[in-house]
Structure 1
Amino acid sequence: MANTDLIYAVIGAALLIGSILPQLLRERVLSAPIVVVGVGMLIGWLMPNESQLVDVIEHAELAERMAEITVIVALFGVGLALDRPLSFRGWTTTWRLLAIGMPLSIAGVAVLGWWVLGVTPAVAILLGAVLAPTDPVLASDVQVEGPGKGEGDDDEHDEARFALTSEAGLNDALAFPFVYLAIYLATKGPPTEWIWTWLAWDLVGKTVIGAVAGWAIGRVVGVALYRVHIGDHRLVGYVEPAAAVATLTLAYGVGELVGGWGFLAVFCAALGVRAVERTSEKHARFHEFIEYTEHLLTLLVLLVIGASFISDAVFRLEWSHVAVAAGVLFVIRPLTAWIALLGDGRLVLPERLFVSTFGVRGVGSLFYLCYAMGYFSEDDGWSLWPAVSLVIVASIVLHGAAASPAMTALDRYRRRTKAT
């Protein structure tokens, strides 16, 4: 029988370690997510009975909700962190990664899953969609630092950081239509009966609704905070940072209620708030609060992923799963992102290589897989868990270890280029 008191003690100790590590391991090869996933693995190995209480397969709905909350908090934080105004020209690199790189990546992973794992086309497309989102949390060393930090260098001059951050903010939402493509293929019969509905509603309609709803909520909240005065002071002066959480939950709920993609609504709400008053120091306070909340939630999810990987997935790993993980991390993501960025004059060659390499997979993949379990049979859906969990763990370890050295090398290259 599981000892719940022991679980509380272990989780508390793990969170304490995780809260201390970011500063101690800053700019080092070993990162806090790597250590916390390792602690989760130790829990799964040394406490098999206790780890069953957080097993992803046994408690898919709990894992889905944990991942969902973590993703929406992270998306709002990413939106607040971006100093660059939203525009077609200014976000060219992002649009390339989303419109070209993401569909190519989904197709590549689907073909790999169908060929190597021998799954059905619907399950193969699900695998591609699940592994499409890049994580907005786990590679903080290669993303923008936040509102006003670095004197604007991150957003205005560091195109590589901006591209990875903005891509992660949007592709967590834009993976949803492709998850539904897999669901429809598995449940609705021949594509001729529903493909136009999917294109018009799931791919375009819900995307537009989510973006517009989120942007409108962000603008309304921003105007209320920065334009409404109480006496001699603006309303924002009386608002606690927790109002950021209220805004993101409002945006997510309304975005879903009106028929849009809630993840996209949250990200666009953050952009809308920033657009009203871009330079206020309150953005930094809101972002800091969101960052702390996001960090805590991420540590909890990483513990779950690590424990579930050891207690379940690792015993079902086969060479085919390893081949899929290697293909996703070392071939498909780098190749598809490289193709998407061809001809992009904003990035020099080392920066293009950097962006192509650091497509970290993480919490979003866990959410989408758990979400899809409500539509797929357990045999079909959970057959992907060993491969998906291996991709997540390997990405956390490899990208987490390489992020600081790669960023240092890129900065050194830029300084040499400027000097000459």
Structure 2
Amino acid sequence: MAGMDALLLVFAVTLLVAVLVSDLAQRTILSTAVLFLLVGIVCGDGVLGLVPLTPDSPIVATLAQQALFWVLFTDGMRVGWSDLRAAWRLPGRALLLGLPLTVALTAALAAWLVGLSWPEALLIGAVLAPTDPVFAAALVGNERVPGRLRQLLNVESGINDGLALPLVLIFLAMSGDADAQPASGTLLAELVGGVAIGVFVPYLAVRLEGSRLFSASARYQPLTAIAIGLLILGICLATEANLYLAAFSAGITIASCGPHQRESFEPIGELIAELLKLAALLVFGALISPAFLAEIPFGGWIFAALAIILARPAALAVSFLGSSLTRRERWTAFWFGPKGFAAVVYGLLVLQSGIPAADTIFHLVALTITLSIVAHSSTDVIIARRFEEPESSRPTADDG
């Protein structure tokens, strides 16, 4: 059976199983994310060999590109300016102070324990900074969990993918061979061009649909945002503007100036993003094997553990000083910084970049993400249930 055919079959079977057990997974420590990751590992070249993928397989680059584009597009759609104005204090602390501190602390651990150079260490810090509430679904979807905590985790994870991206691109450029590094002006033009396309194209499209000359029917309304996304993707590929910043900027622009387009896109957009996430997790798992994990030195395992249990908790502990969060809410926010889907794709981008430390960084990223998915997605139900118990102290304020 051809590789692509085998991949499609394995994904379809795994998806069907995930759908059939999804209700049970919401009530137990079972996790669809862990399922796809483990299936990828078992079916990959290192175990059964059903899906013999390598880092340079075309499907890896294509899936990583498309998945990250549409997930960032959907993430941006969740955080229009009105949403940020309504609830910015706690997420603002986590993003503006917690994110840079997490990158710095993770980088310090990588430089100390693994011996990476500072550009390489900062790169792995930026790759591992984004979080994903999908791996803590039982927590953010539980109405007994305080609303502001769920909002904090959702808004933070929706924005930190896009905020970490420029750092990933900059540190990736700094980590390459000096002769192969792009000129700073070229990199800046790509980043600024992506943002400009992501703002201008959706704004113009939304205004055209709202004019007297054009009007989308109810049947085609959900396709408006998809058409805008495809147009942005095509323009960026043709102009070499950064398509990921364009996707994130476009989502925010549509959410801000096109509430109807945002509302109609939301159901189908979430499903598209979820399918791409699961497919990327399976492919990511297929690149990992017992032999792959055995190549990681002891210091790398220590780094992965500390990146999960130390870097984010320490960063958010500083960020939330003086906030009104209860102790239980603080520790829950500290723990649920799962290394999410964006980190998976950023790791794949590093692997395909050809920088000298690409293989080392990917090994560390893969290990950290694997441990994070298992740890966070298997404890969300347990911790969510703790909020059904009374806590001795409750804050008097509703925000940070």
TM-score, normalising length from structure 1?
0.78
Structure 2 residue 113 is the aligned partner of structure 1 residue 116: yes
Structure 2 residue 364 is the aligned partner of structure 1 residue 364: no
How do residues 90-239 of structure 1 correspond to structure 2 at under 5 angstroms? 90-135=87-132, 137-143=134-140, 158-179=147-168, 180-188=170-178, 202=188, 210-211=194-195, 213-225=197-209, 227-228=210-211, 235=216, 237-239=218-220
Structure 2 residue 43 is the aligned partner of structure 1 residue 43: yes
Q: Percent identity?
A: 24
Shift of residue 416, structure 1, vs aligned partner: 9.6
Equivalent residues of 1:86, 1:271 under 8 A apart: no
Aligned to 1:391: 368
Shift of residue 122, structure 1, vs aligned partner: 2.8
Equivalent residues of 1:48, 1:311 under 8 A apart: no
Counterpart residue type for residue 382 of structure 2: P
Counterpart residue type for residue 227 of structure 2: A
Separation in structure 2 between the aligned mates of residue 118 and residue 321 of structure 1, nearest angstrom = 10
- Give the 3 Å change call, closer, same or farther, for CA 413–301 of structure 1 in structure 2: farther
Separation in structure 1 between the aligned mates of residue 248 and residue 117 of structure 2, nearest angstrom = 33
Structure 2 residue 249 is the aligned partner of structure 1 residue 271: no
Q: Residues 225-279 of structure 1, C-alpha deviation per residue, up to 9 Å, x if partnerless?
A: 4x34679xx525242523332223334555687886543432332333233354x
- Give the 3 Å change call, closer, same or farther, for CA 45–259 of structure 1 in structure 2: closer
Aligned to 2:288: 309
Equivalent residues of 2:120, 2:171 under 8 A apart: no
- Secondary structure of the 1:109 match is helix
Shift of residue 117, structure 1, vs aligned partner: 1.2
Equivalent residues of 2:78, 2:255 under 8 A apart: no
TM-score, normalising length from structure 2?
0.82
Separation in structure 1 between the aligned mates of residue 390 and residue 204 of structure 2, nearest angstrom = 43
Shift of residue 82, structure 1, vs aligned partner: 4.8
Separation in structure 1 between the aligned mates of residue 236 and residue 287 of structure 2, nearest angstrom = 32
- Secondary structure of the 2:278 match is helix
- Give the 3 Å change call, closer, same or farther, for CA 208–138 of structure 1 in structure 2: farther
Size of the aligned set, in residue pairs, is 394
Ranges in structure 1 where 5+ consecutive residues have no aligned partner: none
Separation in structure 1 between the aligned mates of residue 206 and residue 386 of structure 2, nearest angstrom = 39
- Secondary structure of the 1:50 match is coil
Q: Residues 195-248 of structure 1, C-alpha deviation per residue, up to 9 Å, x if partnerless?
A: xx59x975xx876765564344444344444x34679xx525242523332223
- Secondary structure of the 1:309 match is coil
Counterpart residue type for residue 107 of structure 2: A
Separation in structure 1 between the aligned mates of residue 162 and residue 74 of structure 2, nearest angstrom = 14
Counterpart residue type for residue 345 of structure 2: F
- Give the 3 Å change call, closer, same or farther, for CA 414–18 of structure 1 in structure 2: same
Aligned to 1:409: 386
How do residues 223-262 of structure 1 correspond to structure 2 at under 5 angstroms? 223-225=207-209, 227-228=210-211, 235=216, 237-252=218-233, 254=235, 261-262=242-243
Separation in structure 2 between the aligned mates of residue 17 and residue 9 of structure 1, nearest angstrom = 12
Separation in structure 2 between the aligned mates of residue 358 and residue 85 of structure 1, nearest angstrom = 26
Separation in structure 2 between the aligned mates of residue 143 and residue 255 of structure 1, nearest angstrom = 34
Equivalent residues of 1:74, 1:137 under 8 A apart: no
Separation in structure 1 between the aligned mates of residue 328 and residue 269 of structure 2, nearest angstrom = 32
Separation in structure 2 between the aligned mates of residue 185 and residue 320 of structure 1, nearest angstrom = 21
Identify, as 1 or 2, the structure richer in helix.
Answer: 1
Equivalent residues of 2:47, 2:289 under 8 A apart: no
- Give the 3 Å change call, closer, same or farther, for CA 124–212 of structure 1 in structure 2: same
Please, which moves more after superposition, 350-359 or 81-90? 81-90
Separation in structure 1 between the aligned mates of residue 19 and residue 83 of structure 2, nearest angstrom = 33
CA RMSD of aligned residues (A): 3.8
Aligned to 2:312: 333
Aligned to 1:352: 330
Equivalent residues of 1:210, 1:261 under 8 A apart: yes
Structure 2 residue 308 is the aligned partner of structure 1 residue 324: no
Separation in structure 2 between the aligned mates of residue 294 and residue 19 of structure 1, nearest angstrom = 16
Shift of residue 19, structure 1, vs aligned partner: 3.1
Aligned to 2:14: 14
